[in-house]
């Protein structure tokens, strides 16, 4: 089954404790991206990657890191989480042609709470 898998789905952590949210897709997609979704603000892009070893900042990259060492994986790293990073996070992927037509495939989301 074609899917984008995120882990963990739910996490409560404390300020300053490094964490990684993993994202993996099995569709051989070149494009992968991370979004955060907050009430009243909608979906905002954090980082994206057009292919292996190629990453770029989105609209809200501060406090986050990513890496793209393999095509299927695109982990989101919070080196020192803060309460304002409490949010619902979505990973998305797409093939290059589908990116042009805006068809993103989203993971199920990871709800992160930073105390």
Partner 1 sequence: GQNIDQPTEMTATEGAIVQINCTYQTSGFNGLFWYQQHAGEAPTFLSYNVLDGLEEKGRFSSFLSRSKGYSYLLLKELQMKDSASYLCAVRDGNSGNTPLVFGKGTRLSVIA
Half-sphere exposure of 16 (CA within 13 A, CB side): 0
Using CB under 8 A as the binding rule, whether residue 27 contacts partner 1 is answered as: no
Return the residue of 33, 55, 85, 93 that touches partner 1, per CB under 8 A. 33
Return the residue of 5, 20, 22, 45 that touches partner 1, per CB under 8 A. 45
Pick the closer one to partner 1 by CB: 14 or 54: 54
Q: Is residue 75 within 8 Å of residue 89, measured between CB atoms?
A: no
Neighbours of 4 (CB within 10 A): 23
Using CB under 8 A as the binding rule, whether residue 109 contacts partner 1 is answered as: yes
């Amino acid at each position: 089954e074609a899917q984008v898998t995120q882990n963990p789905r739910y996490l409560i952590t404390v300020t300053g404790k490094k964490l990684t949210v993993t994202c993996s897709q099995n569709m051989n997609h070149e494009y992968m991206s991370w979004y955060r979704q907050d009430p009243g603000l909608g979906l905002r892009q954090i980082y994206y990657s057009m292919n292996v070893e190629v990453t770029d900042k989105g609209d809200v990259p501060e406090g986050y890191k990513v890496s793209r060492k393999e095509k299927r994986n695109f982990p989101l790293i919070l080196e020192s989480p803060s309460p304002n990073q409490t949010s619902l996070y979505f990973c998305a992927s797409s093939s290059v042609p589908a990116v042009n037509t805006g068809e993103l495939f989203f993971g199920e989301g990871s709800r992160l709470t930073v105390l």
